[in-house]
Amino acid sequence: MSADFIAVNTPLLDGNERAYLNECIDSGWISSEGPFVRRLESELAEYVGRKHGVATSSGSAALDIAVDALRLEPGDEVIIPTFTIISCAAPLVRRGLVPVCVDCDGRSYTMKTADLEALVTPRTKAIMAVHIYGLPVDMDAVLRFARAHQLRVIEDAAQAHGLMCGAARCGSFGDISIFSFYPNKHLTTGEGGMVLTDDDELAQRCRSLRNLCFQPGRRFVHEDLGFNYRMSNVQAAIGCAQFERLDEFLEKKRRMGRRYTQAFEAWGEYVQLPLDSTDYAQNGYWVYPLVLSGQQSAEAFMALLSDAGVGTRPFFYPMHQQPVFQRRGLFNGVSLPVSERIAWSGLYIPSGLGLSDDEQNRVIEQVGTAIATTYGC
């Protein structure tokens, strides 16, 4: 890969990250016992309006813990979006739960809340709402649905740092919520995540599950099986420095997203651009997605951009079409056409916080060239 290749994501680490990392080294606190872990937990919980934050080693780890903490029984059904990352479905399947997939909205790419009612059975026990690509799910609709059917609610806010959904922040909804701090997120710790809840008992169970279910006073006698999903003080130090600039980062993401939209509006006949807002939320542009018209292949379009030195990523592959789940007999005969279509024709382009104006100009130019090549215009 050439030195001038534009990666799909480059993080921005020019704040207090180095100073806080040096503090970890100088103090010797590099493990999960260090003070930056507790600081990040308390600051982020307060920011989103939660009582408890439990830092983890990744966003996937946070989902593992969140699902386990709810103590659902094998055979219980959990409604999830099909258009999401496999981290959402995997902890359900591992625990013998049954994921039930709902299609996504064709414009926001979030779960289609109007279709939820038809999926309820006597075995439905929970719903997992996943914010997608910088736009939140309509959480008012999800919560109304959950209350009507007495369902537990897991909110996956991995892609929604700092976003508002109505009058409340993403990460504050439902019984339990999670964040991811992977390097492509608005706030990164390199690898890392967090579980958030207002329930004291759930929070205590999450802390125990994160730490191998060690018991106070009887450390190596175990009544339950947990995980080593602890976040290190080194990771949390980076996260604390990032959190200091979260609002700034969010505004930068929105400027980049709107600049792309302004540049690509002329190509609207050929590509679907992301919504800037819905009636309940403003786009945080976690990534900048494009959906090609006419069932054009995203893979071929991405190859054109790669040859021009521009990195991309494909859209999520739907959960109901994942080979690993189909081999287990899940989702037989399920067809969810919107997610299938955008998985074939969707991709996202560079939009990391470290993207320079000159690099964004190059991306705009090369996307325009790729559209002209693809559609012969």
Q: Which residues partner with 80 through β-bridges?
A: 101
Contacts of 337 (CB under 8 A, 6+ apart): 103
- Using the Cα atoms of residue 22, residue 249, residue 50 and residue 123 in order, give the sign of their dihedral: negative
Q: Which residues partner with 169 through β-bridges?
A: 164
- 188 vs 217 pLDDT, higher one: 188
The arithmetic mean of pLDDT across residues 190-198, rounded, is 98
Which H or E run contains 368? helix 357-375
CA–CA separation, 129 vs 136, rounded Å? 9
Name residue 238's amino acid: I
**349-358 pLDDT per residue, tens:** 999 999 999 9
**209-234 pLDDT per residue, tens:** 999 999 988 999 999 999 999 999 99
Kindly report, as residue ranges, where domains of CATH 3.90.1150.10 are found in the chain: 246-375
CA–CA separation, 239 vs 15, rounded Å? 11
Q: Parallel, antiparallel, or unpaired: how do β-strands 346-349 and 313-314 relate?
A: antiparallel
Which H or E run contains 80? strand 77-81
19 Rama sector, left if φ>0, alpha if ψ -120 to 50, beta otherwise? alpha
User: If pLDDT is split at 50, 70 and 90, which confidence band does 1 have?
Assistant: low
The arithmetic mean of pLDDT across residues 154-175, rounded, is 98
CA–CA separation, 37 vs 239, rounded Å? 9
pLDDT over threshold 90, residue 2: no
**53-111 pLDDT per residue, tens:** 999 999 999 999 999 999 999 999 999 999 999 999 999 999 999 999 999 999 999 99
Q: Write out the CATH class of domain 17-243.
A: alpha beta
pLDDT value for 3: 72
Mean pLDDT (the chain) is: 97
The 10 Å Cβ neighbour count of residue 341 is 14
CA–CA separation, 87 vs 340, rounded Å? 19
pLDDT over threshold 70, residue 186: yes
- Helix (H) and strand (E) counts in the chain: 12, 13
**21-41 pLDDT per residue, tens:** 999 999 999 999 999 999 999
Q: Write out the CATH class of domain 246-375.
A: alpha beta
Query: Is the separation of the CB atoms in 107 and 337 below 8 Å?
Result: no
Kindly report, as residue ranges, where domains of CATH 3.40.640.10 are found in the chain: 17-243
Q: Has this prediction a pTM greater than 0.85? A: yes
CA–CA separation, 313 vs 173, rounded Å? 29
